[in-house]
Structure 1
Amino acid sequence: MTDTNTYQAQADELSQKLWAIANDLRGQMDASEFKNYILGVIFYRYLSERTEMYMIDLLKNDNGITYEEAFADEEYRPVVEEWSLSKLGYVIKPENLFRNLIRKITKFENDADKFSVEDFEKAINDLVGSTMGHESNKAFDGLFNDMRLQDSRLGETVADRTEMIGRVMVRVSDIDFDLQDSQFDVLGTAYMILIGLFASDAGKKGGEFFTPAGPSKLCATLAALGLDEAKTVGDCTCGSASMLLEVQKHLTTGKVGHFYGQELNATTYNLSRMNMIMHGIDWQNFDIYKGDTLKDDKYGDIKMTVQVCNPPYSLKWSADKQFEDDPRYSGAGKLAPKGQADLAFVEHMIYHMDEDDGRVAVLLPHGVLFRGGAEETIRKYIIKDLNRLDAVIGLPANLFHGTGIPVCVLVLKSKRNGNAGNILFIDASKEFKAGKNQNVLEQKNIDKIVETYAKRVDVDKFAHVAEMSEIVENGYNLNIPRYVDTFEEEETVDLEAVRAEIKRLDVETKNAIEKAESMLQQLGL
C-alpha cells in the first residue's frame, strides 16, 4: 500500500511534468479552464490503454489476431464491440486509440494522414456515442464537456488549435506513470497540483473539490476500521472522489459492493466519474449523481455501510421550512442555521447509515462542536437521542488548500456496542509536518491517531474517554479543550536572576558608551 510520503513524492514528480504541459497553454486562457484539457487528455489516454489491454486479453486465444484486425473483420467486429461495451462500457475504434493519434501527430507521412484537432474531437464523440442506448451512458455522458476543442482561446484557426492540443497530447504521452496503479490517484492529484500552481478564483476554493492525501486517508481508515468488506460506500460531497476511493484500500479484502457519490459542481462531477473509472471501478459498480445534496437527495432510501465526507465548510443554505418535513432533518426539531449547513450534512449521512453497522467519518470546522442555538439542539439529538457520535478528533491548522483553519473529524457509528456510554476525544492538533504552503498529515501521524482511536484509553495531553455524564455536564458542548487538557506549565522564571542580568547589561552598556565617547574626543570629534 502506498503511504502518504511515497504518494507525495509521486505527486511532486507528476507536478513538474504537469507544469511543463501547463506552460504550453499559458496565456491562452484562464488556468482554471485549461487544466480541464490536461485532465481530459490524461483520461482519454487511460481509456485507450485500458481498451488495448482488454483486447489483448480477450483475443489472446484467437490465433494472434490484433484488435485492428478483429475490428476490420465483419464477423469479429460485432463481438469485440459487444464485449467492450459489456466490460468497459464504451468502444474506442482502433484508429482512435491514443497511440494512433500520437502517431498521426508525430509521424504522419502525407497530408491525408496529418493529425487535426477535429480527429481528437471525433474520437471523443465516437467514444461517448458508443454508450448511447446502453446502461453505461450514465457513467460517460458529458464526461468531456469541459474540454471544448473548438474554443477560440485554444487558437483562432483549426490549425492553431491543432498545434496547441497536439503539444498537450504529446506531452501527456511522454509521462511515464502507471495508469493501472490504483494506489495513485492520478486525476485527483493532477487536479490538486494544477489549482495549486495557478492562483485563480477557481483554485482558491480547490479544497472544496479535493481532500489532501493525509486527511483523506485518516477518514477512510477510521471509517473502515475492523471491516473486511463493505456493501456500500458513499460520499455526499464527493468532489474528485478521492476519499470515496480511499475507503477501498482500508478494507481487509478490498471488496466494495457499490460506490455512491453526489457532487454539485459540474466540472468536479465529471472528474469524479473519470477518477472512478481510472481506478478500475466498473461502470456497473458506481453511481455518481450531480446535484445539491442538501436540497435534492439522490440516494433515496439507500443505506450505507461506510460514509466519508469533506463538505464545504459553513456553507450557506436556505434552511427553508419545507425541510422540516424532510426525514433527514426532521428528527432534531430544528434545522441547521442558514449560515452554517455543516450539521445538515451530518444529518444527511446519519439518515443513510446502515442500521446494523453503519460508519461515518466527516471533516468539519470546529464551530460545530460548540456553537449554540439550532446547532446545540442538533448536537444533543445526535448524542442523546440517537447515540451515534463515537469520537471527536481535532486536527492541525492549515492542512487544506484554500483555508488555514483547523478542522475536526467526527466519527459516528450506528451500533456503538460497549462504547455507548462514552465519547472519545483526541487532540491531534500538533500531529503534522510543517510544509511550505500547507501542513502535511504524515503516515506516522495517521498511525498515532488511529491507534489511539482503536485502543480507546486516556492518553495524557492527547486523548480522553469522556463519560456521557461529562458531556451532559458541559451542556453537550464538545469543544476539545474541555475534555483533553493540553496545558503545559511554563518554566518558573527566576526574577532575581533576571533583575541581576538587567543590571549587568546596564553597566556594560554604560561602559561601552563612555569608551566610545573617549575615543571620539581623542579624535577631536
Structure 2
Amino acid sequence: MIKERPTQDQINKMLWNACDTFRGAFDSSEYKNYILVFMFVKYLSDVWKDHYNEYKKQYGDNEELINRKLNRERFVLPKNCTFDYIYDHRNDADIGEQIDKILYKIEEQNFEKLDGVFRNISFNSEKLGQTKDRNRRLLNLIKDFAKPELDFRPSLWEGKQDVLGEAYMYLLEKFASGAGKKGGEFFTPKEVSQLLARLVAPKEGARILDPTAGSASLLVQVAEQVTDSDGNPSRDFAVYGQESNGDTWALSKMNCFIHGMDAARIEWCDTINNPKLIEGNSLMKFDIVVANPPFSLDKWGHENAEADRHRRFLRGVPPKSKGDYAFILHMIETTLPTGRVGVIVPHGVLFRGGAEGKIRQRLIEENLLEAVVGLPSNLFFGTGIPAAILIFNKARTRTPSGVERNILFIDASKDYQDGKKQNVLREKDIEKVVSTYKAFETKDKYSYVATFEEVKDNDFNLNIPRYVDTFEEEEPVDIEATKKEIASLETQLAKVREEMEGYLKELNF
C-alpha cells in the first residue's frame, strides 16, 4: 500500500513504460491492443476486489450472500479469473494460454456487454515470441501492472474517478502518435474533439452518434459535454457508434466501459454499406451526430449507392474515389429534425466541383449548413493537411428565409501552439472559436457571416478565404534607414576582417 496516490501524469507515465515489454518485438499498432486489454482486465479485477472487500465488511464470512451480491455487479468475474490469479501464476509455463482462457470466461460470463471484445487477441500468440520469449514478456507485463501505484480500486480514488478514463485516453493518444497514418484511423486529437464537442453542445437527454467511432475518443468527449438546463454536467444521455475495424471496435467498447458508459451501443459494421443502427426498417435518428471520417476514402461503396435502401444519396452520389460526402449524407439522414451534425473534413470538401459541388449546393439550398471552421494544419495523426469542421443544423430548415440562412465562416488556422510532431489547439484557441460561433458574428480577419446570396454568387464554393479576409499588409520599408543600416554593417564587417588578418599574421598564417 502506498501512502499517497500518484498523480495523473505519474499514472500515465507508468502505463506508457509498461509498453517497453513489447517495444522492438512488434509494431505499436499491434501491441497497443495487448496493453489496453490487459489494462481493462486489471480494471475489472480491481473493481471486483474492491466490492468483494466492501461486502466482506458488511456480511463477514457469509460467502453465499457475498457471491449473490457480486453476481449483480456491472461485470461478473468467474472464479480464478482475476488479475490476482494471473499474478499468482505468472511463472507458469502456460501463462499465455491461461490468460486467453480467462478472457474467454470473462467474455462468456458477461456476454451481453463483452461479446466479441476479446475475440481478436491472444496472449498465447507467436506474435509475442516463441514460448520462452513470450513468457518473459508476459511476466514483465504482469509485474508492471502489479505495482501498487496501478491499483485501480475505486475506494482508493475517491474524488478522482476519471483517473482511469484519462489514462486510457492518454495511451490511445500516445499509440496514435506513434502509429503515423494509422493513428488517425482510431483516434481524434483530444483538443479537436473538445472543440467539436463544445460546438455541437449536447443537452440533457441527448442521443449521440459517431458513425465512424474509431476508439470512441470523440464520442466520449462529446458525451462528457452534456449539460442540464442549468449548464451543469449531466449523465443523462445515450451514446451510439459504428466502427468497421474489429480491433478498433473492441477498443471503443472498452473505452466506453472505463468511462462508465455501460449502455453505449457500438456496432461493428460498415457504416455506408451495412449500417446496423436500425429501428424498424429505417436508420435510427439522433440529436447529435459527430464524426471524423477517413479523409477522401477510396472504394467507399459507390457501386451500391444508387440502390441504397435508406435513400441517403437522393441529393447526389459522391465520386467513387472520394467518400467524404457519403459520410456527410449518412450523418444528415440519421439526424432528428431538431438535431445537429458536426463533421471534420479535408478542405477539398469545401470547393471541389462535379458531383460533390452539386451535393454541397443542395445542402446549402436546403438551409442545413450553419458554420464552416477552418483549422490549423498538422493537427491530426498521419497527415499534415489542414482540415475544417462543418456544422449542420436541421432546425434551420424551419425558418427558410432571412438571417437564419446565413452561414458563419471562421478562419482559426493561425491559432495554435507548435508541437514537436503535431500542432495543438490551446484552450484560448478553442474558446475563441466557440464564443465566435455562439455570437454568430463577423470579426475582422477572423470570421464572417455570409448571406445565402453571397454564397450563391460564389457558386456555392465554401473556400474560407473567399469570405474571411486574412490579408495582412506589409509594413512600409524606410529606404533611407535601410541604406544607413547596410552601410553601418559593412563598416563593422570591414573592421572585423582587419582584426582577423592581424590575428592570422601573429599566428604565421
TM-score, with structure 1 as normaliser: 0.83
CA distance in 2 between counterparts of 1:508 and 1:461 reads 42
- Is contact 2:318–2:355 with CA below 8 Å preserved after alignment? yes
CA distance in 1 between counterparts of 2:153 and 2:209 reads 24
Q: Which residue of 1 aligns with 2:344?
A: 363
Q: Which of 480, 490, 493 is residue 474 of structure 2 equivalent to? A: 490
Q: Which residue of 1 aligns with 2:72?
A: 83
Q: Which residue of 2 aligns with 1:214?
A: 191
Q: Which residue of 2 aligns with 1:241?
A: 216
Structure 1 residues 177 and 304 mapped into 2: Cα distance closer, same or farther (>3 Å)? farther
1:121 aligns with 2:100: yes
Q: State the one-letter code of the partner of 1:329.
A: R
CA distance in 2 between counterparts of 1:429 and 1:123 reads 49
Q: Which residue of 2 aligns with 1:27?
A: 24
Report matched runs for 1:111-150 at 5 Å: 116-132=95-111, 136=112, 139-150=113-124
1:193 aligns with 2:174: yes
Q: Which residue of 2 aligns with 1:6?
A: none
1:255 aligns with 2:235: yes
CA distance in 2 between counterparts of 1:212 and 1:318 reads 24
**1:147 to partner: Cα distance:** 3.0
Secondary structure at 2:475 match in 1: coil
**1:367 to partner: Cα distance:** 0.9
CA distance in 2 between counterparts of 1:311 and 1:396 reads 18
CA distance in 2 between counterparts of 1:279 and 1:372 reads 42
Q: Does 307-316 or 490-499 show the bigger shift?
A: 490-499
Q: Which of 406, 409, 412 is residue 428 of structure 1 equivalent to? A: 412
- Is contact 2:176–2:187 with CA below 8 Å preserved after alignment? no
Q: State the one-letter code of the partner of 1:429.
A: S
Q: Which residue of 2 aligns with 1:382?
A: 363
Q: State the one-letter code of the partner of 1:215.
A: V
CA distance in 2 between counterparts of 1:33 and 1:520 reads 62
- Is contact 2:78–2:109 with CA below 8 Å preserved after alignment? no
**1:524 to partner: Cα distance:** 10
Report matched runs for 1:459-478 at 5 Å: 459-478=443-462
Q: Which residue of 2 aligns with 1:266?
A: 246
Q: Which residue of 2 aligns with 1:95?
A: 80
Q: Which of 296, 299, 323 is residue 341 of structure 1 equivalent to? A: 323
Q: State the one-letter code of the partner of 2:330.
A: H
Percent pairwise identity: 38
Equivalences, count? 481
Structure 1 residues 19 and 259 mapped into 2: Cα distance closer, same or farther (>3 Å)? closer
CA distance in 2 between counterparts of 1:493 and 1:34 reads 57
Q: Which residue of 1 aligns with 2:270?
A: 292
- Is contact 2:302–2:319 with CA below 8 Å preserved after alignment? no
Structure 1 gaps, min length 5: 1-8
Q: State the one-letter code of the partner of 2:356.
A: E
TM-score, with structure 2 as normaliser: 0.85
Q: Does 360-369 or 509-518 show the bigger shift?
A: 509-518
| CA-to-aligned-CA distance 1:206-250 (integer Å, 9 cap, x gap) | 01210111000111111125x2331x1100110010111112221
Structure 1 residues 404 and 223 mapped into 2: Cα distance closer, same or farther (>3 Å)? same
**1:145 to partner: Cα distance:** 3.0
**1:81 to partner: Cα distance:** 6.4
CA distance in 1 between counterparts of 2:416 and 2:300 reads 36
CA distance in 1 between counterparts of 2:18 and 2:255 reads 20
1:170 aligns with 2:143: yes
Q: Which residue of 2 aligns with 1:317?
A: 299
**1:366 to partner: Cα distance:** 1.0
- CA RMSD after TM alignment: 3.0
